[in-house]
Each structure stands twice: as structure tokens, then as C-alpha cells.
Amino acid sequence: MKKDNKKVIYWLITGCVLIFIMVVVGGITRLTHSGLSISNYKLISGTIPPMNQVEWQTAFDLYKQYPEYQKLNNQFTLQDFKDIYFWEWIHRVIGRFIGLVFLLPFIYFLITKQLTKPTIKKAILLLGLGSLQGFLGWYMVKSGLVDNPDVSHYRLAAHLTTAFITFAYTFWVALDLIFPSKKERNTSFRNLIRWGLLVLILQIIYGAFVAGLDAGWIHNHWPMMSEGKFLHETAYIEQKPVYKNFIEGKSGVQFVHRILAFIVVGFIISIFVKSKKMSLTPYQFKGINSLLIIVGIQFLLGVFTILLQVPVWLGVAHQIGAFFLLSAMTFTLHRFSK
């Protein structure tokens, strides 16, 4: 790592940490059903929460105009509203703070000429991903303010997956600066890790589908979906045509998420076994071992999340596990890339 790059690396790693915090708070927001408590997107004034009783009542009256209150929460008191408002508000404030943390140092580094041309291009892409993430957040919330008092699971998946990809790419750019010297690696092995990463991203998407459809609250058995049934019959009869069951049906989506978990584990075990026949650098060795350890923990977290019917703390822990697994996969792929 060059001394000239230290500030830039710290900037990028800070961004990674903040995105991690953002995703954790987003998970709590989703699991506590707080995401539709703020129905407007005022960029500046929305950063300041209600400061007195009159402002709180105004915010509550606005909430009452939308389906979530009218169809689900019409028994809510002002205090109940304050409880869900907090998580959505802090989620948005962190998002705006991340925007400033990325943009202001980027301008400073540009002016002081501390960024190479390749890094400038990557940073511009990161800013684009951050802007897209903010738009998708608004787009997701908007879907729950019309008729159905819940957000579209497709939009939730787009919002969450973009956050994960933004994190992974930020981490990758930081790794490029931390490890500027690379050598040609085993191409087939690198491609195996790439495929593992793609399957992991697909699994993250299906995790968002499960969250968006509240599919974790059904079929709370393991390894079977119900007693004596590996594939519950509702997994393929809830929706028509049949394929819709596996992208829009609660049972079908949960089934795919379960199967993908085994496939992710299979890829990582395959990576681990094949690496034993190779001469590894210390960082490659650490990356592969961390993959094996984290995927084991993540698998167990997923099993207990289903068995215990998604308690908030365990749902958040499972999401954090996905974050660490993506981090380990990104690091390992980088250490085997050209």
C-alpha cells in the first residue's frame, strides 16, 4: 500500500462501514415494519425529525392517509407511530450522510489530485451506484403507498441488492489500492469463485424476496418445509402460471432460498477442496478459510431464523452474515484476480 493512497483507502473503507451500518438499520426497519412510516422524501427538511407535539401530530396525520394505517395499523397511538418512525428516519439520515461522505472527499481528492484516472472512473461509478440506491429507496417506499400496505418485493430486492453491490465494489476499489501489484492466477479457479459470487448474489436477491413477501413466517421446519415434505405442495400451486410461484409465491420463494443455500455451501466447499491442491499466498489462504467459516455460521443462522419464525435480532444477524460472506467472497476473488 502506497502512502499516497492511505487517505483514499480510509475514505473507501469508511464508506464500506457506513453502508454496512445502513444495511443493518435497513434490516431492522424492514423487520419492525417501519419502512412506510414516512411517506414523503424531503431531502433537506426531512433530515430533521418532528421537534414538538404539533409536528408529531402532523406527521402522524399524514401517515393516516395511507394504506398501512388504514388497513393494518388503525389502532396505532401517537407513541406507536413514533416507534416505527424512528427506524425509517435514521435509515434515511444515514443514507444522506453516506452521500456526503462519498461526495465531499471525492471533490477534495479531485482538487488535490490524489486520485489516478482509473480510481476517478471507479469513484464516479460508486457515486452513480449511491444515487441509484437513493432512487430505489424512494421507488420502493412509493410502491407501498398506493393500495397494498406493503412494498413490492421486487423493489425491495433491487434496493437491498444495490446496497450489497455498492459495498462490494467499494471494497474492491479499496483492495485495488491496498494491493496494487497483482499476478496472473489460476484462471479456472478464479472463474469458480466468480460463479460462487454470482450464486451468492442470487441468494441475496432471494433473501430479499423472502423478506419482502414475509415468507420466513411460514413452513418453520428444517430440513423439510413441513413434517415429512421436502417441497410443500403450496410451493407450486399458489400462483399461475407455475413459474410465478418461485418469484412471487411465499412458499416457492422460500423453497428456492433454501435450495440456493445448499448451492452456495457447495460452491464454497468446492473452492476450499480445490484450493488444497494449490500453493497459496497467506491472503489467499485466509480468504478461503474465512469463506468456509462464515458460510457455516450463515447457514446455521438461516436455519434458526426459519425455525424460530424470524425474531428481529436473528433476522438482522442473518442479514449481517450475508454481508460478511459477500465481503469474504469479494476479498477472495480479488486475491485470485489478475
Q: Determine the pLDDT at residue 182.
A: 64
152-171 burial, b for 16+ CB within 10 Å, e for fewer? bbbbbbbbbbbbbbbbbbbb
- Domain C-terminal end among 164, 181, 198: 181
Instruction: Tell me the C-alpha distance between 229 and 223, whole Å.
Output: 9
Strand, coil or helix: 226: strand
Does 134 share its domain with 276?
Answer: no
Does 155 share its domain with 189?
Answer: no
Does 241 share its domain with 211?
Answer: yes
- pLDDT tens per residue, the chain (338 residues)? 455 689 999 999 999 999 999 999 999 999 998 988 888 777 665 678 889 999 999 999 999 999 999 998 999 999 999 999 999 999 999 999 999 999 999 999 999 999 999 999 999 999 999 999 989 988 998 888 888 788 899 999 999 999 999 999 999 999 999 988 766 567 899 999 999 999 999 999 999 999 999 999 999 999 888 877 888 777 777 878 888 989 999 999 999 999 999 999 999 999 999 999 998 999 999 999 999 999 999 999 999 999 999 999 999 999 999 999 999 999 999 999 87
C-alpha cell at 309: 419464525
| Domain ranges, residue 220 | 185-338
Indicate the Cα dihedral angle 164, 166, 169, 170, nearest 10°.
Answer: -110
Closest among 232, 234, 261 to 249, alpha carbons compared: 234
Residue 312 backbone dihedrals phi, psi, to 5 degrees: -55, -45
The total of structural domains in the chain comes to 2
- Domain C-terminal end among 146, 181, 216: 181
Residue 226's DSSP bridge partners are 229
Answer whether 67's CB lies under 8 Å from 35's CB: no
Does 14 share its domain with 78?
Answer: yes
